[in-house]
Every structure is written in structure tokens, then in C-alpha cells.
Structure 1
Amino acid sequence: MTLIGAGIVAIDDRICRPGWVQTSGRQIVACGPGPPPRPADVNVPDAVVVPGFVDMHVHGGAGAFYHDDPAAIARAAAFHLRHGTTTTMASLLTASRQNLLATVRTLAEATRQGVVAGIHLEGPWLSPAHCGAHDRGQLRDPEPDEIDTVLTTGDGAIRMVTLAPERPGCAAAIKRFRDAGVVVAVGHTDATYEQTRRAISAGATVGTHVFNAMRPLHQREPGPALALLQEEQVTVEIIADGVHVHPALMRAVIDAAGPARVAVITDATAAAGLGDGSFRWGALPIDVVSGVARVHGTATIAGSTSTMDQLFRAAVGLGDGSDAALAAAVRMTATTPARALGLDNLGRLHPGFDANLVVLDRDLQVRAVMANGEWRVQPGS
């Protein structure tokens, strides 16, 4: 049993100054405002304790992709864990059917071992008009036999899939995935406003990195972004690095949807943590310059080099410095993505929830990370 006392603790939707959290085994057993009920095992009066970050859209880090071998998967997950991501949804790029199934099989085993929390299929059922860094030659319509084979191979590990709803067969695909308990997202799409609304009515509940890789807003054709923002049951992802979406637009999205519907994601690639240089993302050469990844020789942004702690600081910075702004950042980096994925025991500091938490210093830099009740970055290390 571990009792943690801190100067600031984000308990549910409250910012407690001070506060405390008590864990036992893999779970939080108690928490509350004020001084801890007994001398704390870990006392950090100058620190902030928040729930472990939940990244529902991330492709890799530290030179490794989640479509690589088991050792690379573990290396990428460990890198992001050091930055406070205690729950990782491993996102896959568009690939051939054979390669897709092979990667799903490998990641399903990594999910069973607890290395990642599940799989996000970002393709191959996307729009060629907004494919970004995906392999255009491997894009295809969602055929029922491929969907069934992917679901069988995933054996329950597939938690989310991104579709372009204008592709033939997508309505049936949404129903098939929903029936299997998979969250369906709209993204990499040239769908109209009406097509997007129909996809939401069919069961889509997430907008993949809203505004990026989708038909833009137009005064006579609002496109998918407005449809996603209007629907209360839809969670919208946003890459809050200040590059993918202008900070003013990020504020507008948060004002429109509220922190309970906005999930901050990294969309990080293997280049995260490595600095500038040349890399590959699947078949595509990628150049990272000043921390921004682009497809070689183009202006097309290819994922990000961000980590969740960096984006947490950015999310706090979008606010006014108040406790409400800090609470909103907590929701967008933990509570909201966990809820969107149906991970009911994650994303909050609350009795009965998994003991996943991050200890941050006054500058919101990571000082310690606990995952499933174990210190993965030790306090004071």
C-alpha cells in the first residue's frame, strides 16, 4: 500500500490543494483533499499529481513503430510511458492485407501482455484525397470478409478503427465493428456534412484528428469537422502541438465541444524523442525539421514528434492559468480519451480505478510515473 501526498492533486474533476492518493496493488483505494490521513510514503508538496495520460492515437516513438516486431513495440511503449502515457492505443498505418494481419497478430499478443492497451486501425479504409502519410496504393473499400478476418485475428484487441464514410460499404462496416465492440472514428475523409452525419447515426463516435486530413470547412459545404463538433455523442481528437492546428482553433474546438468531448492525442511516430533527421514511415521517407515531421519533398505533415506530457503542458497553456484550466487539461489527456474508448477503470484518480498516475513538478515536467500500482519512473529519479 502506498500513500502519496502532494501540493496539488487532480481528483475526478476537482483540483485539490493539497491532496492525497492511496493505492493498494493495482488499484486506487482512497483519495481526497487536504493533508493525507497519515504520514505519506511519498510526500511531494511542490508537485502536481494527475491521472496517467491516455493516448488513443500514437504510432511509435524512440525510433520504433507499433507495426514493427515485439521488441520495437515494447521500446516505443516504454518511451511514452516515461513521458506519462500509462495507456497506449497502438495505431497502425494502411498496409496490404497480409501485412495488416501480421501486425494485428503481433499487437494482439502485446495487448495480452499489457504492453499496449489495444489496437487502433487507422486505415486501410480511407480517402485517397486526404490520405496524408498513408500508402495511397493500399487504400481500399471495407470488404466484409477482410473485416471479419481482422477482427478474428485481433481476438478482442482492436478497440478503434478509422474509416472514411464516403467509401462504398462503410455503413455496413460501421455496424459490423460496432457489433464487435469496436469504437468507430471518422477520419482521413472527403465526406460531406451529410455523409458524416449518417456515419454518426450509424454508430461512429470519434473524429480522428479533427481538421487534419479531412475535407475543410466551406460556407456551402461544411464538411465532416462541423458535423463531428455538433454531435454530443462524438469525441474529437486534436493534436495539440501548435503545428497541426492553430492554437486559436484549438481554443475554439474546446469552447465548442467542451473538455469532456476533446481528446488530446500525440499521433507520434518513431521520430518522437530522436530530434531532427531523416526517417521512414512505412514506405514513405520522412524529414523532421525543427521538430515537425513531413513527407520528404512535400509540405504534408506526417504525424508528430510529441509526447503526452508536452501536450498536457500545451493544453494547460491554452487556458487562463486557473484550476479550471488545469482540470480541463486533465480531462482532455486522460478522462475523455478513456471514456471514448470504453476504458471505464482508467483516466481518473478515483477509488476502484487502476493506479495509473503521473507526478509533475511546478513546471509540469514529469517527475514520477506509476502504472498499475508500480512506480515505472521512481519519485526522485
Structure 2
Amino acid sequence: MTVLDRTALSGARLVLPGGVVDGDRLTVEGTRIAGLGGETRPGDLDLTGHTVVPGFVDLHVHGGGGASYTSGIAEEALLAARTHLEHGTTTTVASTVTGEIDDLTRQAAVLSELVEDATLAGIHFEGPFISHNRCGAHRPDLLRDPDPALVRKLVDAARGHAKMVTLAPELPGGLDSVRMLADLGIIAAVGHTDSDYTTTLEAIDAGATVATHLFNAMPGIAHRAPGPIVALLEDERVTVELINDGVHLHPSVLDLAYGTAGPNRVALITDAMGAAGMGDGLYPLGPLQVRVENGVAMLPDGSSIAGSTLTLDRVFQRSLLVHGLTLAQTVESLCATPARLLGLTDSIGSLETGKLADLVVVDSDSYDLVAVMRHGRWAVGGDSFPTVTSA
């Protein structure tokens, strides 16, 4: 990756917090955005015909590039992070899956080192504190009730880098664990749950603020039993994760959820496993094997979807071209909303002076990814832009 002491991007469409601006200029110094606007100068990179958006933020991802964050091997985690970076994800929260508690603590130790060197932004424990009835691609024999002491053991293993814990609040200890996580400043997420409407509301009142991949691995909506989905959608304190791959959710269901919650309460995620960025085949997901056929990850017996093969550049493109979202809406759900959840709005999530120079450049017509910059360094494609020769 090329280090940029100072450079300027000119002629691009910029998606800014205040709106979309065409033909504007963005200056980078070191790792930060140094300025927005101004006249084009010789030596600027000419990005005419391109759109610049903030780097994408993924709250929920298990792996990619054939590698998994659950392996407990630093080199695999680095490969997974690099794969998603090449597809525009400049901020990654690494997600685990259900395993033996001791295995999860060892994984947390490895991932914590990668948080400390700024490769990752934190750790998300998905399981083992989830419902047997809604476990999906998690081994049922390894599930545990969310006893607060056990939840705290995992959190402590992350050395201050645990960002989110997904649990089923109806299980013994569930609500107490939600309260504990909230007190610790860690996101308590409701997911893989068989909870009813009332218990879900109690979890929200106790401090739960995220719905893990809404609709998936939870009861559906019934007219006399609204279940967790309605409780999570209707409460403005809750941010809902949505997987926009055309497999996990019917497009009309995603549109309904998006229209109800709005971009400031939707975090578009990948929930990707190791096959992201790869081809079909067999891949590990924690202690399980997953079969990928035609880009769809399933348990070999066909009983459950097992994560996705998504990358966030595809989510970005689908949101605009399939669902008709605006650039501003899409950027909010891919960047600003997850950045706010992580408490990182001072440094990421929008194109503003002083924030980290985390940028994604796409073609303004097709929305295909062209280049990615992270912390002021080109990770993909930056050398392909021509230089302005005259003002």
C-alpha cells in the first residue's frame, strides 16, 4: 500500500453528511482528511466519473478469503480482514461462533492483538448464549445459558475489546446479562432467540440495543403473537442488522424493515463466513463445515443458511440498484450508523475534515468498486487515477 503524505482527489462526486456534491475536491494529509472543497490544482488525482464515499463498517463478519476469525490463528484473521478491505470494508468487527468456552477465550486473545494493532475494531461474540430452537449454524451441544459470570469470562478474555455479545434474552440469566453488558458499555444484541414480544421489550428496557440479523434465527411475525421482530423494529432505541444478499431476506421484507426503521437504525452487514471472496466448496465455520453452492452457504444437510458470502461492496451496489435507496441512505446504513454504535463517530463513518481518510471510490454509473483507501493508504486501485496537469 502506498503511503500518502499529502494528496488531493478532484472532480469526484462526494457523499457528505450534508448532501451529495458533484465535482468536488478532498485533501488527505497523512492518515486524515485535511480538507473538503477548493479549486482543482495540478498534481491532484483526477476522479472525474467517480463517487467517493466513506469506508464501509461491518459490525458482523466471521471471515473471508478462505479464512476465518474463529480459527484462533492470527494469519487467517489477517487474510480475512484483508479480503474485506479489498471490497471496501475499512472497519471490521470480527465475529466468533459458538464453541467451547476455552476455545472462545483463546480466539479472543488472538483477535484482541489485532484490535491493538488497529487491524480490527473489536470482537463480537455470537454464541454460545443462544436458543437451541433458533441456533442455525451453531452446534447445539455447545450452547450455554447466558449466566452473567460466563458471559463476563468471555468479555474479560477480549481485554477490553469486546464490542458486542449476541444472546437469547429468554434464557436463564439472559436479562441479567443484558444489564451487565449495558453497564460495561458493551452492545447487547438480541439474536438466535425464541423470545416473545414481551420478553424482547424487557431486554430492550434492560439495555439491548441491536437486533442480530433481524428476521433470521427468530420467530416470525404472527398477527396475535408479534414476537421479537415487531418489538425490535418498533423501538427507536434498537438498531437492526439486515443482510442484503437476496438470500437471507426477500427484497420486499428488507424494504419493509428499512422503511420502518430508517437508515439511522439499520446497519447493513455481511455476516460473511470464510467463502466471501472465494468460490464454491466446503469451508469451516467454527466447529462446523459449511457447503457453498452458487454463492449460498448452507449446512451440508440443508437445514440452515450458514452465514453469507457477501462483501459490503455488493451490499452497497444492491442497496442502490435493487432497492432504490439513495446514496445518502446507503452510506448512512453502511458507514454512519455502525460507526455510531461502535462509538467511533469522531474518526470514521463520514467524509469530514479531521476524520480518518477511509474512503471507497466507485464508478458513478455502475457503482462498481474502483479503489479503497484506509488510514490514508491506498489498499486497492489508487495508482490507476490520472493526474491533473493544469488547473
Q: What range describes the TM-score normalised by the shorter chain of this pair? A: over 0.9
Residue 49 of structure 1 pairs with residue 52 of structure 2: yes
Among residues 303, 308, 320, which one is paired with 1:304 in the alignment? Answer: 308
Q: Report the secondary structure of 1:110's partner residue.
A: helix
Which residue pairs with 1:102 in the alignment? 106
Show the 5 A alignment for 1:137-216. Answer: 137-216=141-220
User: Would you say the 8 A contact 1:291–1:305 is kept in 2?
Assistant: yes
User: Would you say the 8 A contact 1:65–1:76 is kept in 2?
Assistant: yes
CA-CA distance at 1:254 after TM superposition: 1.1
User: Would you say the 8 A contact 1:188–1:213 is kept in 2?
Assistant: yes
Aligned residue identity for 1:51:
P
User: Would you say the 8 A contact 2:136–2:217 is kept in 1?
Assistant: yes
Residue 341 of structure 1 pairs with residue 342 of structure 2: yes
Show the 5 A alignment for 1:163-312. Answer: 163-312=167-316
Between the aligned partners of 1:47 and 1:219, the Cα distance in structure 2 is 47
Between the aligned partners of 1:47 and 1:100, the Cα distance in structure 2 is 42
User: Would you say the 8 A contact 1:122–1:163 is kept in 2?
Assistant: yes
Which residue pairs with 1:332 in the alignment? 333
Which residue pairs with 1:357 in the alignment? 359
Q: Report the secondary structure of 1:109's partner residue.
A: helix
User: Would you say the 8 A contact 1:367–1:380 is kept in 2?
Assistant: no
Q: Given the superposition, is the C-alpha separation of residues 285 and 67 from structure 1 closer, same or farther in structure 2, using an over 3 Å criterion?
A: closer
Between the aligned partners of 1:327 and 1:13, the Cα distance in structure 2 is 9
- Cα root mean square deviation, aligned: 1.4
Q: Report the secondary structure of 2:326's partner residue.
A: helix
Among residues 374, 378, 381, which one is paired with 1:375 in the alignment? Answer: 378
Between the aligned partners of 2:236 and 2:131, the Cα distance in structure 1 is 25
CA-CA distance at 1:39 after TM superposition: 4.1
User: Would you say the 8 A contact 2:251–2:323 is kept in 1?
Assistant: no
Aligned residue identity for 1:304:
S
Aligned residue identity for 1:335:
A
Between the aligned partners of 1:144 and 1:260, the Cα distance in structure 2 is 30
CA-CA distance at 1:380 after TM superposition: 4.2
Between the aligned partners of 1:319 and 1:36, the Cα distance in structure 2 is 35
Between the aligned partners of 2:39 and 2:266, the Cα distance in structure 1 is 32
TM-score, normalised by the number of residues in structure 1? 0.95
Between the aligned partners of 1:202 and 1:37, the Cα distance in structure 2 is 52
User: Would you say the 8 A contact 1:6–1:48 is kept in 2?
Assistant: no
Between the aligned partners of 2:322 and 2:238, the Cα distance in structure 1 is 22
CA-CA distance at 1:325 after TM superposition: 1.0
Show the 5 A alignment for 1:2-13. Answer: 2-13=7-18
1:28-49 deviation line (CA, Å, top 9, x unaligned): 12224xx645446222101110
Which residue pairs with 2:35 in the alignment? 30
Which residue pairs with 1:132 in the alignment? 136
User: Would you say the 8 A contact 1:160–1:341 is kept in 2?
Assistant: no
1:272-310 deviation line (CA, Å, top 9, x unaligned): 122111222223221111110100021411000010001
Between the aligned partners of 1:225 and 1:24, the Cα distance in structure 2 is 45
TM-score, normalised by the number of residues in structure 2? 0.93
Structure possessing the higher relative contact order (Cα contacts under 8 Å, 6 or more residues apart): 2
Show the 5 A alignment for 1:114-125. Answer: 114-125=118-129
Q: Report the secondary structure of 2:49's partner residue.
A: strand
Between the aligned partners of 1:40 and 1:378, the Cα distance in structure 2 is 17
Between the aligned partners of 2:43 and 2:230, the Cα distance in structure 1 is 48
User: Would you say the 8 A contact 2:96–2:286 is kept in 1?
Assistant: no
Q: Report the secondary structure of 2:78's partner residue.
A: helix
CA-CA distance at 1:5 after TM superposition: 1.6
Between the aligned partners of 1:319 and 1:283, the Cα distance in structure 2 is 35
Q: Given the superposition, is the C-alpha separation of residues 106 and 43 from structure 1 closer, same or farther in structure 2, using an over 3 Å criterion?
A: same
Between the aligned partners of 1:271 and 1:6, the Cα distance in structure 2 is 36
Query: Which 4+ stretches in 1 moved above 4 angstroms?
Result: none
> Aligned pairs, how many?
376
Between the aligned partners of 1:176 and 1:307, the Cα distance in structure 2 is 33
User: Would you say the 8 A contact 1:319–1:325 is kept in 2?
Assistant: no
Q: Report the secondary structure of 1:18's partner residue.
A: strand
User: Would you say the 8 A contact 1:13–1:327 is kept in 2?
Assistant: no
Between the aligned partners of 2:133 and 2:45, the Cα distance in structure 1 is 52
Aligned residue identity for 2:67:
A
User: Would you say the 8 A contact 2:70–2:285 is kept in 1?
Assistant: no
